Amino acid sequence: MALNPGSPPGVGPYYENHGYQNESPYPPRPAVVPSAYAVYPAQYYPPTVPQYAPRVLTHASTPVIHVQPKSPSGTLCTSRTRRVLCITVALGALLAGALAAAFLLWRFMEDKCSVSGMECGSSGTCISPSHWCDGVLHCPGGEDENRCVRLYGPNFILQVYSAQRKSWHPVCRDDWSESYGRAACQDMGYRNSFYSSQGIADDSGATSFMKLNISAGNVDLYKKLYHSDVCSSKTVVSLRCIECGVSQKMSRQSRIVGGTGAALGDWPWQVSLHVQGIHVCGGSIITPEWIVTAAHCVEEPLNHPRYWSAFAGVLRQSFMFYGNGYRVEKVISHPNYDSQTKNNDIALMKLQTPLTLSDEVGPVCLPNPGMTLEPAQACWISGWGATHEKGKTSDMLNAAVVRLLEPWQCNSKHVYNGLVTPAMICAGYLQGDVDSCQGDSGGPLVTLKSSIWWLIGDTSWGSGCAKPNRPGVYGNVTVFTDWIYRQMRVNS
C-alpha cells in the first residue's frame, strides 16, 4: 500500500504490497527469478504482489508452431478391419464433439447474463446491473424497477423506490409481517439471511410512505405496496438482514504502525487473503459468503478465484499455515477501477462455502445511505501489514485508531495535491505516527456509530507509512454500497 516517496506531486501512486512470509516456507529462489506474471509453476515463488511498478509493453516473441506431417492417405485404414476401426473412432469423435457442443450451448444459455448482469424475465434480454433501480425501464416488463429496496440511515429503515415519483419512500409498519422482511432481504442479495424486522419512528423526514394493501391477495410484495400520506402506526419498518457490526472490543485502542496486537473477537470481520499460502491482502466479511477487499489486490494475474483462499478467526499468520482456508468462488472488481490512479479501488470475493459465524467470525455492517460522519470521526484500521515502512508484514493481527480527514485537507498541495477523488477517503494524522502499511491493502476502515461497527473504507494506497502529511487513503465504501448489493443480487 506504499506510494513511492520519491513521486513528485501530481504523479500517480506507486504501490507495494508485500505478502507475509515465515522463516522459510519455500526453498531458496533460483538465481534467475521468473516473471511475476508467468503461469504459476508447481513450485511457486510468490513475488511481491500485487506489483505496481510502471509496466512497459514488450513485443512477444513469435511462437514456434511445430506442424506434424500428415500421414499418407490410406496408411492407417487399408485393411477392412482397420477401416471399420477408423469409422468407429470417427463416429465416436463426432458424438463426443456433439455432446461437448451441446454442453457448452447449455452452459451459455444458463449463464447468458453472467456478464451483462440481469435477465429480463419477460423477454430474456440482459441488462447491466447499473441499470437496476435507476428510474428508467430497461426491461420490457419493467422487472428492473420492480424490486428496488434499500436500508437507510443508522436505524436500517426499509425504503422502496418509486419509479413513478422517482424517489425513495419508507415502508409504513401498518400490517407488516416478518415474511415480507425476509422477501425484502432476499431482494437485497442476502440469501437465506434475516435477523429482525420491527417498527421505529421515522427519522428520514419523509412525508409520503409505501403502505401494504392487505386486500391485494397472494401477489408479489411490491405489487401490494401503494403510496400513502398517512401511516396509522406512525412507525416505519426497520429491517436487519444480518446481525452485523458486533465486536467484543468497544473502546480499547491499538495500532498497526506504532501499535499493539488485537485479541480474538476484536475485529471478527477481518480476513487474511492468501495466494498459495502467502498473505497478500486483507478483507472484510459482510455476509457468510461475501468479502470486501481492494481491486488492486486482484489485478491480473490474480483476478482468478482459483489462486485465493480466505482465513477468518485466526490472529497469527503462522497458525494459518496449518489450515486450508476457505476457497474463493468468484472475484468481482469494480468495473470502473483505474489501476493507475486507484480510483474505485474495491472488489468482492464470493466464497465457495459460507463461513461459520461465531464470536470470533462475524460480518461488519455496510454503510447505509443517509448516515452522517463527523469531519474528524474516529475510525479503526486492522491488518497484518508491516509495523514500519519497508518492514516485513506482521505475524500478529494489529489494529490502529485513526481519524477521518476532510477532502480539502487531503488534496492540498502539501499532502496529495488533488490525487484523492470522491471515491476515496483519507484517514490518519497529518503529523504521521499511525497508519496502515504494505500488507494491509484491502483491509477494513471501520467506525463505531449507534453501537454498531460500520465499514466505511478499504485500505487502498498512501505515500510510505505513517509519514507526516502522508495519511492513508481508502476506497470510500459509502459510495459503493449500491454496487455491492447489486453484485450480491446478481451472483446469489
What residues are annotated to the active site?
296, 345, 441
Whole-number Å distance between alpha carbons of 182 and 197: 9
Work out the angle at residue 307's Cα, subtended by the Cα atoms of residues 64 and 186, and round it to the nearest 5 degrees.
Answer: 130
Burial profile 236-271: b = 16 or more Cβ within 10 angstroms, e = fewer: bbbbbbbebbbbebeeeebbbbebeebebbbbbbbb
Work out the angle at residue 228's Cα, subtended by the Cα atoms of residues 222 and 231, and round it to the nearest 5 degrees.
Answer: 105
Yes or no: say if 280 and 302 are a contact pair by the CB < 8 Å rule: yes
Radius of gyration of the chain (CA): 26
Whole-number Å distance between alpha carbons of 305 and 119: 24
Q: Which residues contact 329 (CB under 8 A, 6 or more apart)?
A: 305, 350, 351, 352
Residue type, 140: P
Q: What is the DSSP secondary-structure string of 402-436?
A: EEEE-HHHHTSTTTTTT---TTEEEEE-TT-S---
Q: What is the DSSP secondary-structure string of 296-342?
A: GGG-TTTTSGGGEEEEES--BHHHHTT---EEEEEEEE-TT--TTT-
Work out the angle at residue 88's Cα, subtended by the Cα atoms of residues 83 and 93, and round it to the nearest 5 degrees.
Answer: 125
Whole-number Å distance between alpha carbons of 372 and 369: 9
Q: How far apart are the first and last CA of the chain?
A: 31
For residue 51, CA distances in Å to 3, 16, 54, 301, 436 come to 12, 6, 9, 10, 18
Give 103: exposed, middle or buried? Use CB within 10 Å, 0-12, 13-18, 19+: exposed
Residue with cell 476401426: 85
Q: What is the DSSP secondary-structure string of 247-297?
A: -S-SS----STT--B--TTSSTTEEEEEETTEEEEEEEESSSSEEEE-GGG
